[in-house]
Amino acid sequence: MSNLFTRIKNVVMADLHEALDQKENKNPIALLNQYLRESEQETEKVRKLVERQYKLKEEFTREYHQASQLAEKRKYQAEVASKAGETELQQFAAREHEQYIERADRLKASLEQVNAQLSELESKYEEMKHKLKDMQLRRLELMGRENVTRANQRMNQVLEPDAYSNKSYSRFKDIENYLDRLEHQVNSSYYKSTIDARIAELEKNMEETKSI
C-alpha cells in the first residue's frame, strides 16, 4: 500500500513539475513575478510576527516590573507589621512577598526567552528583506536584458529576415540562466542581519554591568 501511495505521489509531483515547466517556458517573467509576490507575502507575514513579538515583550516587561514592585511593597509591609507585633498581618504580607517573588522570577525567565526569540525573528526578517530586494533588483536587470534582446530581434527581423529565422531566442536562455542563479541564491544560506540593534543591546548590557 505504501508503494502505491509513493507512486501516486511521484506521478502527482511529476505532473506538477511539468505544469510549472510549461508555464515557465511560456512566460518565465510572469512566473518570476509570481515567485516574487509569494516572497513578498511571506516577508510581510514575518514582519507582523516581529511586531507581535515586540508587543509580547512590552507586556512581559510591564508584568515583570509590576510583580517586582509588589514584591518590594509586601516585603516592606511585612517588616512594618513585624515591628508592630502584628503577627497575622506580617505572615500574610510575607506570603504575598514570596508569591510576587516567584512570579517575578518566572516573568523574568519568560522575558529573556521572548528577547531571544525577538532577536532571532529580527535577524530572519532582515535576511528575508535583503534577499527579496536582491531578487527584485535582479528581476529589473533581467527585464532590461530581455527588453533589449526583444528589440534586437525585432530589428534583426526587419534588417536580416533570412538570418533571423535561423537564430534562437536567446532571451529564454538568459531567463533560464537567471532563474538558475535565483534558485541558487534563494537556497543558499547566508547570515546577514542588521547589527545596530544588537550592538545597542550589547552596549546597554555593558553599561548595566558597569553600574552594578
Give tens-digit pLDDT for 111-121.
999 999 888 88
Quick one: pLDDT band at residue 61, thresholds 50, 70, 90?
A: very high
Specify the 3-state DSSP secondary structure of 165: coil
Cβ atoms of 179 and 28 within 8 Å: the answer is yes
Task: Single out the residue of 24, 198, 37 nearest to residue 120, CA to CA.
Answer: 198
Give tens-digit pLDDT for 72-95.
999 999 899 888 888 898 899 899
Q: How far is residue 4 from each of residues 8, 9, 11, 15, 16, measured CA to CA in Å? A: 6, 9, 11, 17, 18
* CA distance linking residue 211 with residue 199, whole number of Å: 18
Average pLDDT over residues 16-21: 50
Name 20's Cβ contacts closer than 8 Å, sequence gap at least 6.
31
* CA distance linking residue 50 with residue 210, whole number of Å: 30
Give tens-digit pLDDT for 109-151.
999 999 998 888 888 888 888 888 888 888 888 777 777 777 7
Give the pLDDT of residue 142: 79
Q: How far is residue 197 from each of residues 49, 57, 70, 189, measured CA to CA in Å? A: 17, 15, 31, 22
Within 10 Å of residue 111's Cβ, how many Cβ atoms?
A: 17
pLDDT at 177 over 60: yes
